[in-house]
Chain A
Amino acid sequence: MIEEKTVILRTEHLKAFYLLEVHGTQKTVKAVNDVDIQIYENEIYGIAGESGCGKTTLLKTLFGEIVPPLRLIDGKIFYRIDDDEVDVSRMKSEAKRKLRMEYISYIPQGSMSVFNPVLKIKGTFADFIGSHVHGQSRAEIFELARERILELGLPKNVLDVYPHQLSGGMRQRVTIALAASLNPRIMIGDEPTTALDVVVQRGVIQMLKDIQKNLKNTIVLVTHDMGVHANIADRIGIMYAGKLIEEATTEKIFAQPLHPYTQFLINSLPKFGDKSMRDSVPGSPPSLADLPTGCPFHPRCPHVKDICRQEMPNFHHLDENHKVACWLVGEA
């Protein structure tokens, strides 16, 4: 499968920290700590990692939505728009606002409070679409929304109800339909499958896959559920403590995980026929406000060496698609 791949979304040494003042002392939460990722056109890229490892913050920075206490400390974010690379971190907020929905759209977790509780779903559609498409009447926007909803196999009356009248799965699918409604080039999902039971989860995953197939766009999906990644992602990046530590195609990650943390994540999945106890990662993730020296995983790593405590390893590229940052691999 040699094909020319175009990078659509790229970060360079991205560092975004929360600068907090707690009881008079400055605290720095290093939520995104020197992340370089490249995401291609027409792929589904999964970002995996435990809770509190900076996944959601990474998504926010990818949107250029950096509001205090979150600060962009260093690095750049590029979108590829019409064959031009645009540095989002330097864009004005109105320009960034215009890109949303039309170029890059967001799929939130379909929680109870994801929609404005006093608006009907069509009101939310009208606000989101009407903020970008000009010169269209409300009726035309509703028509567009209705088409989208039917295309994606949702019942058309979802537009006429209030958010609290929808089930969790339906709310989640409405967020996806909304994100897809202006045919964006990039869709970014923040745990869109998390609060759903597996049957509904399957429907949501299928819906995302179908949309991606139709629009040939890029989906970035954040979830801690490796099972979901296995089902949907083309490539997976593993995050730990605000850093990307391993990245490979989905097959490689599952077949040949190299970082001890990735190995733990994969081994904790249940397998058919294997009734042995699943090992979980020992210990808990470090506080992003007080990171250990060297490789942030070393306090939990069973293969820890002296150098791990002193220095963060660089990426070792096994091949074009597989890179890992661990002293056990390559550089050792």
Chain B
Amino acid sequence: MNFIKRYLIPRLISYFLVIWLGITIVFFIPRLIPNDPVIKMVDQMRARGSTLEPGTMDGIIHDLTVMYGLEGSTLEQYRDFWVRLAHGDLGVSFFQFPAPVSDLIATALPWTLGLLLTTTAISWVFGNIIGGLAGYYTRRSWSRTLDAVAMVIRPMPYYIFSFVLLLLFTYVWRWFPVTGGASLGALPEFTWGYIKDVLWHSFLPGLSLSALGMAVNFQVMKLLVQNINAEDYVQYARLGGVTNTRIVSKYIIRNALLPQITGLALSFGQIFSGALITEIVFGYPGVGMLLYRAIINGDYNLIMGITMLSIVGITTAMLIVDLAYPLLDPRVRYT
């Protein structure tokens, strides 16, 4: 009970406070930018050559303002925003008017989830296994070679690495498609042909994300295992003649995985904001791409919707890590 009063309740309060604060900041920042989406829309209509009577024009401006949720002072908008949000309404997108933001996100999210869940899991699992082995057998030549490879890959900027892959595999050797999440015109259906198409399209973005993620996990895990291998308790277990299997599993891996599990949870939380650069480079129809277009077009509601998703994703992941940590590490206790 002490735990609930002294830890859980304050922690939950801070959880909601962070979400509220984050959403509030994301609400106000676009509105401080001198860029009126209604005028922009009207300008676009004018640019297309549609001439309207001033009266009709005023009507359109008014209707758009209402539909965009931009009526009244900023504070009134803020209040209305929460009222709408309470009803699960994220508003309509400005640039893909009148599609609701939630629909747009719902279309993009499966792509992002499919790509990032897989690559995060792959890079975590393999990065840790290979990194752990390399840290344990740190004096072997293959361990040094892998370390050198990771050293080259890891600091490389995403876009460079992605472009290299893109150039090599779609232009020099035309093995993979240049852009998209599936072939044009292919209808989403649960057939082997469609799944194969999706996998084929996501191979390069997946490869770029997994390679970089794996390099990071490899380096961190290698260092962790190297350090833990030199810890007093491992040396002691060796001199106590504890069997090697026990030392590796219960002494080294168990302790090295503690920080890595936190890392995994946090990267799962980040998935909801998409992989911005990768999705842009490979023209992948995920949340990152959606966010990019929303920013370019000053689409408040869409930016808002995506950012909110990512705020909730990350704070929830952190909450789960905090609550689960005492189960993993007995030194952490909330009493």
* Residues in chain A within 8 A of chain B (CB atoms): 60, 63, 65, 68, 96-102, 105-106, 108-109, 111, 113-120, 123, 127-128, 131-132, 162, 164, 175, 178
Contact = CB atoms under 8 A, between A and B. Distances in A.
B240 A115 contact: no
A119 B233 CA distance: 11
A115 B233 contact: yes
Interface in B254-268: 254-255, 258
B236 A127 contact: no
Contact of B237 (A99, A109, A127, A162): A127
B238 A113 contact: no
Given A118-B254, A127-B246, A164-B331, 4 more contacts: A97-B241, A106-B236, A118-B331, A162-B330
Interface of B: 139, 231-233, 235-243, 246, 250-251, 254-255, 258, 328-331
- Which has the most chain A C-beta neighbours within 10 Å: B238, B242, B250, B258? B242
A118 B330 contact: yes
Given A117-B330, A119-B250, A101 B241 contact: yes
Contacts of A106: 236, 239-240
Q: What are the 4 tightest A-B residue pairs by CB atom distance, in nearest-first order?
A: A100-B241, A106-B239, A113-B232, A97-B241
Given A108-B236, A162-B331, A116 B241 contact: no
Contact of A114 (B232, B241, B242, B246): B232
Contacts of A108: 232, 235-236, 239
Contacts of A117: 233, 255, 329-331
Determine chain A's interface SS by DSSP, over half rule: loop
A116 B239 contact: no
Contacts of B242: 127-128, 131
A113 B231 contact: yes
Given A113-B232, A114-B232, A127 B241 contact: no
Nearest to A105: B240
A127 B254 CA distance: 14
A175 B328 CA distance: 25
16 contacts: A68-B139, A97-B243, A98-B241, A101-B240, A113-B233, A114-B233, A116-B250, A116-B255, A117-B331, A118-B328, A118-B329, A123-B250, A127-B246, A127-B250, A131-B242, A131-B243
Nearest to A100: B241
A302 to B, nearest CB: 38
B267 to A, nearest CB: 23
B259 to A, nearest CB: 13
A9 B329 CA distance: 41
Nearest to A179: B240
Nearest to A116: B233
Contacts of A120: 330
Contacts of A101: 240-241
B39 to A, nearest CB: 61
A131 B241 contact: yes
A287 B168 CA distance: 55
Nearest to A175: B236
A161 to B, nearest CB: 9
A178 B242 CA distance: 13
Nearest to A164: B331
Nearest to B236: A108
Contacts of A105: 240
Contacts of A162: 330-331
A63 B255 contact: no
A128 B241 CA distance: 7
Contact of B239 (A100, A115, A123): A100
A132 to B, nearest CB: 6
B250 A111 contact: no
A114 B246 CA distance: 16
A119 to B, nearest CB: 7
B238 A65 contact: yes
A117 B254 CA distance: 10
B262 to A, nearest CB: 15
A68 B240 CA distance: 19
Given A100-B240, A100-B241, A131 B330 contact: no
